Amino acid sequence: MRALCWNGVNDLRVESVADPALLNPHDAIIKVRLTTTCGSDLHVIDGLIPTMREGDILGHEFMGEVVEVGSAVKNIRSGDRVVVPSFISCGSCWYCQHELPSCCDNTNPHWEQGEPVLGHATAGIYAYSHAFGGYAGSHAEYVRVPFADNDCLWCRKASAMNRRCSCPMPRRPATWAPTFVIFTPAIPWRSGAAAAWA
């Protein structure tokens, strides 16, 4: 697939990379339809966020179509349209159960790298350095979503995604503020999707 890769400070390149694969029964693979360029991407691009590695794929807020699910995934299936927030959360740890998914205990395998700087461990974040888990991001044709049952917010009317998205999970943290920009031409921009989120 093609993806936007970080190769150093102010050095981004669109490259051919390996397609993502299911690594865990709770994973899903999403075909990215829309992905946002976030202000936080600038911190990665200008080198403010350490522990980036050459070839890391950028992008941490996105929506798209499910194309493959692991054997333990129950809530979504291939063909569903979903929205995915930047923080990766399991849905079952103490923090997730207390509506603090950005502190999820189960999604950042490198939590000890961020704790000395931030004062506490955080959840994993797509494309936000290896201190936040080293997850590949969404500025790509496909992305792997761990804990897909918890993190894929299902769009109720998939066929009407161009007009509006209806999310069945009403409570998400304030850090989750999607401002979508077009990445693939499959869905016309300014067709009403943005207004639905305003």
* Contact positions vs Zn ion (CB under 5 A): 38, 40, 89-90, 93, 96, 104, 106
Q: Which is nearer to Zn ion, 149 or 160 (CB)?
A: 149
Q: Which is nearer to Zn ion, 18 or 171 (CB)?
A: 171
Whether 95 contacts 124, CB under 8 Å? no
* Smallest distance, Zn ion to C-beta of residue 193, A: 18
* Smallest distance, Zn ion to C-beta of residue 91, A: 6
Whether 59 contacts 12, CB under 8 Å? no
Structure tokens at 142: 């496909």
Closest alpha carbon to 104 in 93, 112, 119? 93
Distance CA 111, CA 91 (A): 18
Q: Which is nearer to Zn ion, 92 or 191 (CB)?
A: 92
Task: For 192, list phi and psi in degrees, rounded to 5.
Answer: 120, -15
* Smallest distance, Zn ion to C-beta of residue 92, A: 6
Closest residue by beta carbon to Zn ion: 38
* Smallest distance, Zn ion to C-beta of residue 98, A: 10
Q: Which is nearer to Zn ion, 68 or 104 (CB)?
A: 104
According to DSSP, residue 162 is labeled T
* Smallest distance, Zn ion to C-beta of residue 124, A: 10
Task: For 61, list phi and psi in degrees, rounded to 5.
Answer: -140, 130
Structure tokens at 12: 């981004």
Structure tokens at 37: 């360029």
Q: Which is nearer to Zn ion, 111 or 142 (CB)?
A: 111
